Structure 1
């Protein structure tokens, strides 16, 4: 089916042939909605850029000895200025294979084992695992439902920061899994707390290109530049998870000095083709992204119309991830297990996301409208047959 966005949306049969982990891991006949990958074709500008570079030269790049991010740095700075009116210093940008590596490097050079790190929960599971593996105790900032939104208690956070001697704030905005986009007022409160408690702020903004409706993304570095390390990538918005490429804009001079003191190749480097793909996405992929966001906007609203009545769902302000609340449905098993067993739909189990995840499941809706419709038909039938 060709949509109004102008490219072919995949059928269920076509999507099932995709070789990536999203479709290859589930059993045949299961619709995967677990990992944060999209089912859409790659933007032509990215395909063309990678093919052109492959045909021309995949030898050592001209930026091989660059301690920063080569051409990524300027492309990142241009994009931030164009979209948000923020002009970061390209000289403060470094490249990493993905946000998990970037986070681990920053924690390695800027904190010590035993240093607490605050983050909103439920939380992206690999971040929770990183904190546990690196012995950085997690200080949970609970997101709780308040009316038609998710919110946190700044007074409680203030008291807990004082009590724990927390070293850093790991901010995920837009938030995964709830889809919240924090307002300027909320970000300002967090900035004031970071100043008061001398926190390093590591701001994961990888979903910032996927904000919907009236919500607006505000880079945290525009509020607190000297304390903030901004992590982002083109991989989520442009469906490039396998290229292994991200950037970190390092505002704090002490962290830049700590990174500069490391052996130059200890953390590896991104590939030539990953850089080509990312630069092409940021500079030439906007039409494609606009088209994809139209589909995601329709899909997030379709969920609100089609989910069983007792499944709690707040339409996300960003991302292509639905945080579904099954606590009122009377299920006697973990929701993701029920969906897999009875609906043949594979979602992410809520408990993986830490405190606040029990009774929930995360469902990705970055797929064609026909596949989403089949997914929702199966979920409805599973609940009807109980």
Structure 2
């Protein structure tokens, strides 16, 4: 990675490709690289290889130049509340009330806290599958019953199964729906028509909807992210919308997220909890998030264009060189969900990719139910490193495959 910071617009595209694997592996802030053994290239954990946007870095420098990191003075809540509301209005046409926004350490914390306060042990919670592992584990620890609603793998891509969802919600007495949009790991961005079906179902069965929309800013045209709560005032009143700047702006370590709490009773329940019992966003995380949302969109546009090119290259490569791997190009995020079942490598093909090709993918069973035989591929890197990753995918399937040459 070039030691210089991200520069003017004209140099952004070039600098996104100036990534040195030795520097990436040595960086204390990149678990994705630091956890790898020598000779293994990472394409697993959901963080990008790119340096943080210069407006965020420079803004934090100015903040620290004051030489004080004392208690913040936020009598009406952190500045994240207004920044979130403004971003939703300008990018998505939704006008949430800033006073209904609360800060969290992470989106996952917000999901679990909403379930903890708004449902009871033993309650059923519907989630589209395959699903993000920490959500599955959180439901188990909270003693909530997972109602898996498998996404349908169709020739056109991954699709919601409204008939099964309606049937299973009714049969289980479901109390909540966790909606991940854009979806992780499939990358689906749900359409307005699909979301309207879910909203009608939620109204009919009086479901709390917890919408994880953390990948929203990484949606590729012509697809368009639609906040679930924006569908109607009635939908907003039963929806918790959770998001963060951490995914789109590569800020995973700042531990800062926000949630718009539509239900009045849930918002009151959150406010009644002992201060910081469930953790809190830190002052630098709030500052970094506000900087990203108010000054980082030039950087984000360049990154999304770069990711879109990588996304298309991956799809073309798989079609030409590895057609036995099933794949629908993600409509949002920088994560591709690879169907490796026809390779005959069992439930966890990621293990074979690591052993035979020296490439680390996210394990499919970690997204169960629905993950056996799959692997998740992170393409948020330089064009050169993506080329090396793709070569290792092919190398993994060769009869004489061996772990690749050692790489920093």
Q: Deviations over 1:138-190 (max 9, x none)?
A: 11110121112101221111111111010100000000000000000000000
1:4, CA displacement in angstroms?
6.2
Q: Deviations over 1:197-220 (max 9, x none)?
A: 110000000000000120000000
DSSP-derived class of the 1:254 partner: helix
How many residues get paired?
Answer: 383
Give unmatched runs, 5+ long, in structure 1. Answer: none
DSSP-derived class of the 1:76 partner: helix
DSSP-derived class of the 1:5 partner: helix
Q: For residue 335 of structure 2, what is the aligned residue in structure 1?
A: 321
DSSP-derived class of the 1:202 partner: strand
Among 26, 33, 44, the residue aligned to 1:23: 33
DSSP-derived class of the 2:153 partner: strand
Among 178, 199, 208, the residue aligned to 2:186: 178
DSSP-derived class of the 1:288 partner: helix
Q: For residue 279 of structure 1, what is the aligned residue in structure 2?
A: 290
Q: For residue 236 of structure 1, what is the aligned residue in structure 2?
A: 247
DSSP-derived class of the 1:265 partner: coil
Among 47, 60, 63, the residue aligned to 2:71: 60
2:115 equivalent to 1:115: no
Q: For residue 42 of structure 1, what is the aligned residue in structure 2?
A: 52
**Is the 2:347–2:374 contact (alpha carbons within 8 Å) kept by the matching residues of 1?**
no
Moved more, 268-277 or 40-49: 268-277
Normalised TM-score (structure 1): 0.96
The runs of at least 4 aligned residues of structure 1 exceeding 4 Å deviation read 1-4
Q: Distance in 1 between matches of 2:280 and 2:253?
A: 15
Q: For residue 198 of structure 2, what is the aligned residue in structure 1?
A: 190
Matches within 5 A, 1:146-185: 146-185=154-193
**Is the 1:11–1:370 contact (alpha carbons within 8 Å) kept by the matching residues of 2?**
no
Q: Distance in 2 between matches of 1:49 and 1:24?
A: 27
Q: For residue 73 of structure 1, what is the aligned residue in structure 2?
A: 81
1:8, CA displacement in angstroms?
4.4
Q: Distance in 2 between matches of 1:143 and 1:135?
A: 24
Normalised TM-score (structure 2): 0.91
1:34, CA displacement in angstroms?
1.1
Q: For residue 6 of structure 2, what is the aligned residue in structure 1?
A: none
**Is the 1:11–1:368 contact (alpha carbons within 8 Å) kept by the matching residues of 2?**
no
